[in-house]
Structure 1
Amino acid sequence: MPDYGHELLFGTFLTPSANDPDRVVALAELTESAGLDLATFQDHPYNPDFLDTWTLLSWVAARTERLRVSANVLNLPLRPPAVLARATASLDLLSNGRFELGLGAGAFWDAIEGMGGGRLSAGDSVAALSEAIDVLRGGWDTSTRGPLRLRGDHHRVPGMRRGPAPAHDIGIWLGAYKPRMLALTGRKADGWLPTLEYLKSPDRVTANRLIDEAATSAGRDPRQIRRLLNLFQVDFSATDGGVLRGTPAQWVDQLLPLVLDEGFSAFIIGRDDPRLIQTFGHEVAPALREAVTKERTTTAAATGPTVALARHRPGVDRAALPASLANGAVEPGDPEYERVRHSYSRQGSPAVVIRPRDAAEVIDAVTYARTQDVPLSVRSGGHGISGRSTNDGGIVLDLSRMNRVEVLDRATRRIRLEPGARWGEVAQRLARDGLAMSSGDYGDVGVGGLATTAGIGFLVRRFGLTIDHVVAAEIVLADGTLVRADGEHHADLFWAIRGAGGNFGVVTALELEAYEVGNVVHAQLAVDATRVAELLRRWGRLVEDAPRELTSFLALFPGRRQNPPMAQVTLVYAGDDIEAAENALTPFLEIGPILDQQAQLVPYPAIVAPAHNRHHGQGLADVHSGLLRHVTPEAADSVETMIRSGDVLVMQFRSVGGAVNDVHRDATAYPHRTQNFSVLAATVPDRRARLDKLWSDLSGHLDGMYLSFESDTHPARLLDAFPEPTLGRLRRLKAAYDPDNVFDRNFPIPPATGTDPDEDADRAGEPRRAVVVE
């Protein structure tokens, strides 16, 4: 059998002993620290000497950060599939997409029957498993309207409401040995999970063939099915003791043919031995990955890739895709395509979505993309208002797999973030060390875009913008070079990426100085906004007079169905001094008629919890953005006109000022250090022209623009975002670091050419290959 092209996974199969529960958890934590990918546990609910596997999976997922967890395999007869659909999706959401579903048809029927499970024949158990897979997938499918209905012989679901959708496409891996189970694996499963020592008849080659034949008959590509392998009778020895009983180098030599000739791509060792786990993770896994990459590269160079991306679509040369990227790539027709094609505010149909795991793969992706005459979009979290992190017919470089969050040095509060991490996840990790980072108001926003544009968050008046705390960045430039930029290395680039980062490269990691924050006081007010201008002026005056610990956002909504306009005010006091917070918050109760109010002392992560919403272009995409020094009567009157027009669906004001304005305007490429408020207005496409007219009336009162909230990327807006001399300096740096203007889609900064500046500004609007970090 050929190599199916999957990325390699390495893991452990741990005994869930109830006699020493701390040990099994410690071994799972060791699995992660050793660099392995996966911890799995057998599931025998009828065995009182074992911990309940589902409880253990949840506990281990909570105790780890990167590790995937799975049963090996879950006992279906004692776990009803409708409930299992909810439970699996829930654990996947809670673990940020780290759950996989190893599933079995059942064994030890006397014990199952003793716990109330029904006894099934071998044939019926396979049929029941097949129906269960349909229930699971139907329960996870929130894109289909109406309830899930299934009238099976073994599982009946008269009318189940679908959802929640899991955080990622959970793999269903079947423990299969006999022909009927192997055929089911080919027809419906995502993976085959046998144990090497149990594979006797049929043998591995025959079993793989049966899976492939069943997949092909069902209209599936056999390469969609991962082949995993449990390894029990293994050990390390200085001498050759047989199969997987020698040195790490011998292990690699013996495992390599299983990958290249038989298609296995995941190896799971079934011994509770810390030394063996560490050696497997530190020596075998990296060496085998290197050997497989070398062989795949050689094969691809000679014959073209044999992975699923070999299918060709016009405009993108799949044969040229580096082997290092193929396993993480998704194209139309793949199961995960619907999850990765759109951004929050825009729908897209890219030809391929590439998901690198590290900076080296980002280099490969940028180098490859420059050879393709199609748009290239770079996605951090996909929440950029402009929506340029997707496209039609091009390449999307999705950084979601690069999502590590590390505290490098607690004493200096130095942290390291990868661009695909979500700010809610960052908040949760930092809170364990009593740290925080102000970073917008929504936990699903990705690190990469916000931390290279500005970062106006709930702690901004006390601690400043997110970019004000960036102390170093690792960046892949347009020519494929990876550089480190900080105050001493590439200092000019370091200045530029703090405010205009998407124009200069793909940021692969950021180092920041976090700050001490534990609990905060979070309050929300619902206010009758009948007198819009008066309410807005009062709010603006109170914000400017408030202590820096207080940051406030205000959202205005037009009246509907004879109801007046309404305002929602969010207030966050950066500290746990209840009396001081109360003194700062109380004046806001006088801004207008209060319809509802609530305030509570909460951990900072609670107010930016990541929702892990699935993107399908659901956000408002027609948005204008600006900055105000003060909420003047004239500006407030213009806002009231906009809200009363009915053509603007929402306006939002965010307080800045405070610590933001302590930074000199030339310290970063974000030069707006005198304004106190950010304002945006959003509507739907059929009212965009009227929004534009209303906004033009407000624009005379504005002073600058915040890129993250603007959908109009016309070159004329560049001077709003980067008033001179900032824009001139950025253009000169652009000429040095990206003279070919590769990164030129989202508010593109044209390289300086030495010609007339006005001519260069006009040329900024010419279409080219496009890269954007959102």
Structure 2
Amino acid sequence: MTSPAALRGRIVVPGDDRYHLLRSTYTTVARPAAVLLPENAEEVVAALRHAREQGLPLSVRSGGHGLSGRSSNDGGVVIDLSAMNRVEVLDRAARIVRVEAGARWAQVAQALAPYGLAISSGDHGNVGVGGLATGGGIGWLVRRYGLTIDHIRAAEVVLADGTVVRADADHEPDLLWAVRGAGSGVGIVVAFEIEAIELRDIGYAQIAVEVDRGGRALRRWADYLAEAPRELSTAVTLLPHGRSLVASITAVVATADERRVRAAVEPLLRIGNTLDQHAQLAPYPALVSTAHLHANVGQQPSTTTNGLLTGMTDEDAAAIVAAAGGRHQALINMRSVGGAVNDVPADATAYAHRHQGTLVVATAFPPQRGVALDAAWRPLADRVEGAYVGFESRPGESAFERVYPGATGDRVRRLWKRYDPDGVFQALWRLP
């Protein structure tokens, strides 16, 4: 493969010592023909032009944590943005931060900590900025801060024809709308300007609660979160516990005030039989630590789907327990949303799910695959609505319609066609 001058030394092919660390994603072992490593927007343009000239499948990667595995491929070209990882505070008074798409969220948290700033950004420091910040961003501060996309004020985008465009409220507002939730289909977003929040330390609690077969503990968790202080965000993982289940609850309170942390967390201790608990104050970067940073080499193969609940009925809770404890035993995670997420109008961004309170995620691991996941998910399939693109590993028309329902999906399709008429960035969705 001939190297353009702008990318000399930054095209990695099989046989290169770097190839085994760059070819795959977190969930999928891949074998691309080449991985391109641009260091600035001009080199992204050169990389895109080079990739298109080869006539091979194209993937774009920031962190490579994406559960679908779409940020790499077999036999094609990968544009890897990991060298574009700079984080800069542009305006401390306005809390505007410029973050390049190849940074990982641990690096962002570490860079912002000296300024007393933070951005809610997923739940693992190894996740790349670009993938999360173009899909939504359900993080540890989600009920207080909202989605990551809700605070993107501008984006720098390389379009399919090689044009570099700034999208903000006054310039290309339609492009900014699409970037915030459906950005993977309009171009390569190389940098974001994001409004951060003032935050240094947070309250952190880990609680284990026994879950009865009827799921009453889960119903109480959801009922409490619907009324809880917005400072509180939680994630729940359901795990086997003898002949029942245990809910492992991670609770994050966006304040360093111990009294408010205690008041927010204590009701969680009353939703069921508490097996274990501990709480502490910690700096925000401890949640998305630099210790999380690692190469992605396909170490966690999985198949994932998800949906949202507005409230949680007794029947919903029982269905969740059935999915987690049934014969197929999917791993079930739940995240509290609502709060600040639902302050944003449903048509303000390409993420339209602005009235629900709970995100339910189901994952199957080998040797189980999609058929087993679908069987485990069946009790919930007709109870949930919508989907979050970050936790949907099987792209296609059905997934698209759940992620981008109704008028939102119609607008996404129109804008993808406008900004990428040849479908360079949408091929993996397999849309008609």
Scaled by the length of structure 1, the TM-score of the pair is 0.55
- Residues 1:622 and 2:278 are matched in the alignment: no
Instruction: For residue 629 of structure 1, report the CA deviation from its aligned partner.
Output: 0.7
Correspondent of 2:353 among 672, 677, 681:
672
Query: How many angstroms apart in 2 are the aligned matches of 1:746 and 1:427?
Result: 31
- Residues 1:570 and 2:250 are matched in the alignment: yes
Aligned match of 2:264: 584
Correspondent of 1:464 among 146, 164, 173:
146
CA contact (8 A) 2:330 2:373 kept: no
Alignment of structure 1 residues 194-343 onto 2, 5 Å: 318-319=1-2, 321-343=3-25
Instruction: For residue 540 of structure 1, report the CA deviation from its aligned partner.
Output: 0.7
CA contact (8 A) 1:330 1:354 kept: yes
Correspondent of 2:97 among 412, 415, 421:
415
Instruction: For residue 614 of structure 1, report the CA deviation from its aligned partner.
Output: 2.4
Alignment of structure 1 residues 375-454 onto 2, 5 Å: 375-454=57-136
CA contact (8 A) 1:363 1:476 kept: yes
Query: How many angstroms apart in 1 are the aligned matches of 2:381 and 2:314?
Result: 14
After TM superposition, which residue ranges in structure 1, 4 or more long, deviate above 6 angstroms?
none
Correspondent of 1:634 among 305, 315, 320:
315
Question: What secondary structure, in the 3-state scheme, does the structure 1 residue paired with 2:380 have?
Answer: helix
Superimposed CA distance per residue, residues 226-257 of structure 1 (whole angstroms, 9 cap, x where no aligned partner): xxxxxxxxxxxxxxxxxxxxxxxxxxxxxxxx
Query: How many angstroms apart in 2 are the aligned matches of 1:329 and 1:734?
Result: 28
Aligned match of 1:164: none
After superposing the two structures, state which structure 1 stretch, 569-578 or 527-536, moved more: 527-536
Query: How many angstroms apart in 2 are the aligned matches of 1:459 and 1:745?
Result: 33
Alignment of structure 1 residues 143-154 onto 2, 5 Å: none
Instruction: For residue 724 of structure 1, report the CA deviation from its aligned partner.
Output: 1.4
Q: Which has the higher helix share?
A: 1
Query: How many angstroms apart in 2 are the aligned matches of 1:703 and 1:332?
Result: 43
Superimposed CA distance per residue, residues 157-215 of structure 1 (whole angstroms, 9 cap, x where no aligned partner): xxxxxxxxxxxxxxxxxxxxxxxxxxxxxxxxxxxxxxxxxxxxxxxxxxxxxxxxxxx
Query: How many angstroms apart in 1 are the aligned matches of 2:418 and 2:322?
Result: 46
Over the matched positions of the two proteins, sequence identity in percent amounts to: 49
Query: How many angstroms apart in 1 are the aligned matches of 2:428 and 2:247?
Result: 31
Superimposed CA distance per residue, residues 475-507 of structure 1 (whole angstroms, 9 cap, x where no aligned partner): 000001100000000111111110000000000
CA contact (8 A) 2:211 2:244 kept: yes
Instruction: For residue 649 of structure 1, report the CA deviation from its aligned partner.
Output: 3.9
Query: How many angstroms apart in 1 are the aligned matches of 2:130 and 2:352?
Result: 20
CA contact (8 A) 2:222 2:312 kept: yes
Superimposed CA distance per residue, residues 456-491 of structure 1 (whole angstroms, 9 cap, x where no aligned partner): 001110111000000000000000110000000011
Instruction: For residue 542 of structure 1, report the CA deviation from its aligned partner.
Output: 1.2
Superimposed CA distance per residue, residues 384-415 of structure 1 (whole angstroms, 9 cap, x where no aligned partner): 11011111111111100000000011011010
Aligned match of 1:499: 181
Instruction: For residue 634 of structure 1, report the CA deviation from its aligned partner.
Output: 1.5
Correspondent of 1:605 among 270, 274, 285:
285
Distance of aligned partners of 1:488 and 1:733 in 2 relative to their CA distance in 1, 3 Å threshold: same
User: For the aligned residues, what is the CA RMSD?
Assistant: 1.4
CA contact (8 A) 2:37 2:81 kept: yes
Instruction: For residue 324 of structure 1, report the CA deviation from its aligned partner.
Output: 1.2
CA contact (8 A) 2:58 2:424 kept: no
**Contiguous gaps of at least 5 residues in structure 1:** 1-317, 749-763, 766-774
Instruction: For residue 651 of structure 1, report the CA deviation from its aligned partner.
Output: 0.6
Give 2:93's aligned amino acid.
A
Quick one: higher RCO (CA 8 Å, sep 6+), 1 or 2?
Answer: 2
Alignment of structure 1 residues 163-202 onto 2, 5 Å: none
Aligned match of 1:54: none
Give 2:188's aligned amino acid.
V
Give 2:277's aligned amino acid.
Q
Instruction: For residue 685 of structure 1, report the CA deviation from its aligned partner.
Output: 4.0
Instruction: For residue 564 of structure 1, report the CA deviation from its aligned partner.
Output: 3.3
Query: How many angstroms apart in 2 are the aligned matches of 1:543 and 1:495?
Result: 29
After superposing the two structures, state which structure 1 stretch, 614-623 or 661-670, moved more: 614-623
Correspondent of 2:341 among 660, 670, 673:
660
Question: What secondary structure, in the 3-state scheme, does the structure 2 residue paired with 1:393 have?
Answer: coil
Give 1:492's aligned amino acid.
D
Query: How many angstroms apart in 2 are the aligned matches of 1:410 and 1:337?
Result: 39
Instruction: For residue 621 of structure 1, report the CA deviation from its aligned partner.
Output: 2.1
Query: How many angstroms apart in 2 are the aligned matches of 1:486 and 1:598?
Result: 43
Query: How many angstroms apart in 1 are the aligned matches of 2:269 and 2:213?
Result: 15
Give the greater-gyration-radius structure (CA). 1
Question: What secondary structure, in the 3-state scheme, does the structure 1 residue paired with 2:320 have?
Answer: helix
Give 2:310's aligned amino acid.
R
Instruction: For residue 576 of structure 1, report the CA deviation from its aligned partner.
Output: 1.1
Scaled by the length of structure 2, the TM-score of the pair is 0.97
Question: What secondary structure, in the 3-state scheme, does the structure 2 residue paired with 1:687 have?
Answer: coil
Give 2:247's aligned amino acid.
A
Question: What secondary structure, in the 3-state scheme, does the structure 2 residue paired with 1:711 have?
Answer: coil
Query: How many angstroms apart in 1 are the aligned matches of 2:351 and 2:399?
Result: 14
CA contact (8 A) 1:439 1:455 kept: yes
Correspondent of 1:651 among 332, 356, 365:
332
Correspondent of 1:595 among 275, 296, 304:
275
Question: What secondary structure, in the 3-state scheme, does the structure 2 residue paired with 1:558 have?
Answer: strand
Instruction: For residue 620 of structure 1, report the CA deviation from its aligned partner.
Output: 4.0
Query: How many angstroms apart in 1 are the aligned matches of 2:184 and 2:215?
Result: 36
Correspondent of 1:702 among 376, 384, 397:
384
Q: Which has the higher strand share?
A: 2
Aligned match of 1:686: 367
Query: How many angstroms apart in 2 are the aligned matches of 1:536 and 1:371?
Result: 53
CA contact (8 A) 2:209 2:272 kept: yes
Aligned match of 1:149: none
Aligned match of 1:721: 403
Give 1:600's aligned amino acid.
Q
